[in-house]
């Protein structure tokens, strides 16, 4: 078992997740199998109830786990499928240990942070690190572990102690520690003191850095790197500058140029890991495709997309949607111009409250080549989403509604086509006459955490939907699987009426009851999905639904449909997925 630990000092939010993902990708280019874990010091048992405006989005895994958004980075970069246990939180560990104590497993001993909590953490890591995460079904060679927060936080101390003990048990050649630190620039001068103090604190806790990744807005001066190396008792080669790049997908290229892969190979004694020629070749092909994708040879005009949501004040609240749009734009060889529009600013009363916000919001909608309405909860901003959906439908602007976005599209259609002016969702009004969106029968209104319809679910396209653009992007498949996270759904009682009025409900769940997708036939691209296709999008393998939307907005939908058809029929026998 080999471990690469990525921790941080000075401040949080400086890119530990991207550096961890990039390190994993570089190891995969050698032909190694890589898995990943995130250790979060907060007491929550999962990220399901965390406010997206404070913590960012809740990323949903295939098994229904509601986790930290960094697990999305790992899956997108590494092409792997993680489990709920890949995200360890303080809440999960304490719950596990307390349950064992209540069962009597500790035989009356006094249960303490050391050794009981720290032992449970180590056992968790060692168990999860061995779980296969790719199509090979084989145990991973290396586990990337990201420690959330910053070293020195009170809540991080048990994790650090556990990791120090794990390093001792695994041995020097099986544990590699990367410390990510921020180098601020004040009046043009690169300041190294924060990094020096962070590394000193890390060493005092028992973690010895094998590499220091210095985040900075610009290329660091050589003198700065030398000073950090001297002050932190590491070699010059062990200090790597990680400057801002044009896109985050170019960070692996930067780290490879800075020598990270060579440092990892030496630090983990990877030359002792025998690999078959086939695995080595696959790694080389992966690296070649990555470079070709993130640095396209062709630069076509940009595509303007408006993201209309209720959490747009924090980019991370819709992180997977944003990344999946980027993946799709790269595939279409377009630069993505993504405009975040607060749906509240599109509502009629905003015209009186703040005319400037109202004008700017609608200006962005009018200039957009495509409009996407992502998921969310609550009634705030719903009317603005409905107005936006109406605009896209009437003016033939490519539209994609995800989860709440699909429900909003159904409400808009019921109001303006069926004539039910008060049509709404039960989430907004429990006593409305026409609730075209209702609460799911097996959900819970009392217990919030983990009670939604979560994880990978099967979708069946209905007979006679061969015309569907969405289905075409899935290669014409009859059955597809996507991840879900919702508590409300389209009311089955309105299905026949909606379809008779021209809103095609193109796919249903495995029982043939729940609406999984809607589509307009006489529209360039008007699609709604109950699922969250953004959660399965990868850098080298964009989500079919998001790719279709961006392609329609870019004017190359027919080309993308043809590629999807060739992929399903075999094509050249190799797909981007297979290279992962």
Where do the DSSP E strands lie in 360-423? Answer: 370-373, 399-402
The CA distance from 193 to 10, in Å, is 10
**Cα 72 to Cα 64: distance, rounded to the nearest angstrom:** 13
Dist. CA 199–CA 228, nearest whole Å: 10
Please report, for residues 92, 157, 351, 355, the alpha-carbon distance to residue 346 in angstroms, rounded to integers and kept in the order given: 41, 46, 8, 10
Phi first, then psi: give them for residue 14, nearest 5 degrees: -105, 10
CA atoms within 13 A on the CB side of 122: 19
What does DSSP say about strands 515-519 and 526-529: parallel, antiparallel, or unpaired?
antiparallel
- Quick count: other Cβ atoms within 10 Å of Cβ 571? 12
What pairs with residue 66 in β-bridges? 60
DSSP annotation of 156 reads: G
**Distance of alpha carbon 503 from the chain centroid:** 31
Angle at 307 between CA 304 and CA 311, to 5 degrees: 150
Residues 6+ apart with CB under 8 A from 325: 305, 307, 336, 338, 372, 546, 550
Task: Tell me how crowded residue 94 is: count the other CB atoms within 10 A of its CB.
Answer: 16
For residue 337, how many other CB atoms are within 10 A of its CB?
A: 15
Q: How far apart are CA 214 and CA 194, in angstroms?
A: 11
Active site residues: 403, 532, 534
- What angle separates helix 382-394 from helix 355-367, to the nearest 10 degrees? 40
- Could you count the other beta carbons within 10 Å of the beta carbon of residue 5? 24
Q: Calculate the CA dihedral of residues 492, 498, 503, 505 and round it to 10 degrees.
A: 20
Q: What are phi and psi of 533, to 5 degrees?
A: -65, -20
- C-beta of residue 82 within 8 angstroms of C-beta of residue 73: no
The secondary element (H helix, E strand) that includes residue 35 is: strand 34-40
CB atoms within 10 A of CB 148: 23
């Amino acid at each position: 078992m080999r471990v690469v630990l990525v921790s941080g000092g000075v401040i949080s939010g400086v890119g530990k997740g991207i550096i961890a993902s990039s390190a994993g990708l570089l190891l995969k280019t050698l032909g190694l199998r890589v898995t990943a874990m995130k250790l979060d010091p907060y007491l929550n048992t999962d990220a399901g109830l965390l406010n997206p405006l404070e913590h960012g989005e809740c990323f949903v895994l295939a098994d229904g786990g509601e986790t930290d958004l960094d697990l999305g980075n790992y899956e997108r970069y590494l092409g792997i499928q993680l489990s709920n246990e890949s995200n360890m939180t303080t809440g999960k560990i304490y719950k596990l240990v307390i349950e064992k104590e209540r069962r009597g497993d500790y035989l009356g001993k006094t249960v303490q942070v050391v050794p009981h909590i720290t032992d449970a953490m180590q056992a968790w890591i060692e168990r999860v690190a061995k779980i296969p995460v790719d199509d090979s079904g084989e145990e991973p060679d290396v586990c990337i572990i990201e420690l959330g927060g910053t070293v020195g936080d009170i809540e991080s101390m048990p994790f650090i102690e556990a990791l120090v003990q794990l390093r001792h048990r695994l041995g020097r050649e099986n544990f590699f520690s990367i410390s990510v630190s921020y180098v601020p620039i004040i009046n043009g001068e690169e300041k190294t003191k924060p990094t020096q103090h962070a590394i000193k604190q890390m060493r005092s806790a028992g973690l010895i850095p094998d590499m220091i990744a210095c985040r900075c807005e610009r290329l660091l001066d050589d003198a700065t790197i030398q000073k950090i190396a001297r002050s932190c008792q590491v070699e010059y080669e062990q200090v790597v500058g990680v400057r801002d790049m044009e896109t985050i997908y170019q960070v692996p290229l930067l780290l490879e140029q800075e020598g990270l892969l060579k440092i990892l190979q030496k630090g983990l004694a990877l030359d002792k890991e025998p690999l078959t020629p086939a695995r080595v070749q696959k790694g080389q092909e992966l690296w070649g495709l990555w470079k070709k994708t993130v640095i396209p040879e062709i630069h076509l005009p940009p595509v303007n997309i408006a993201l209309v949501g209720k959490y747009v004040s924090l980019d991370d609240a819709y992180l997977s949607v944003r990344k999946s749009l980027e993946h799709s734009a790269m595939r279409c060889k377009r630069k993505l111009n993504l405009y975040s529009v607060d749906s509240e600013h599109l509502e009629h009363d905003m015209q009186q409250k703040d005319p400037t916000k109202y004008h700017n919001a609608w200006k962005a909608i009018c200039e957009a080549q495509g409009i996407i309405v992502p998921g969310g909860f609550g009634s705030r901003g719903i009317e603005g989403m409905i107005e936006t959906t109406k605009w896209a439908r009437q003016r033939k602007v490519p539209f994609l509604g995800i989860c709440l976005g699909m429900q909003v599209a159904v409400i808009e259609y019921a109001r303006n086509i069926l004539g039910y002016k008060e049509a709404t969702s039960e989430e907004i009004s429990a006593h409305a006459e026409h609730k075209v969106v209702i609460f799911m029968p097996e959900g819970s209104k009392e217990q919030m955490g983990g009670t939604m319809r979560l994880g990978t679910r099967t979708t069946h396209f209905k007979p006679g939907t061969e015309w569907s653009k969405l289905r075409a992007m899935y290669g014409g498949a009859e059955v597809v699987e996507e991840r879900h996270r919702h508590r409300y759904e389209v009311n089955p009682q309105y299905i026949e009426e909606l379809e008779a009025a021209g809103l095609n409900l193109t796919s249903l769940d495995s029982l043939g009851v729940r609406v999984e997708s809607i589509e307009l036939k006489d529209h360039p691209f008007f699609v709604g999905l109950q699922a969250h296709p953004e959660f399965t999008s990868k850098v080298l393998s964009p989500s079919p639904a998001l790719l279709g939307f961006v392609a329609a907005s870019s004017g190359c939908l027919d080309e993308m449909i043809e590629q999807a058809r060739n992929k399903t029929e075999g094509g050249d026998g190799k797909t981007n997925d297979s290279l992962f």
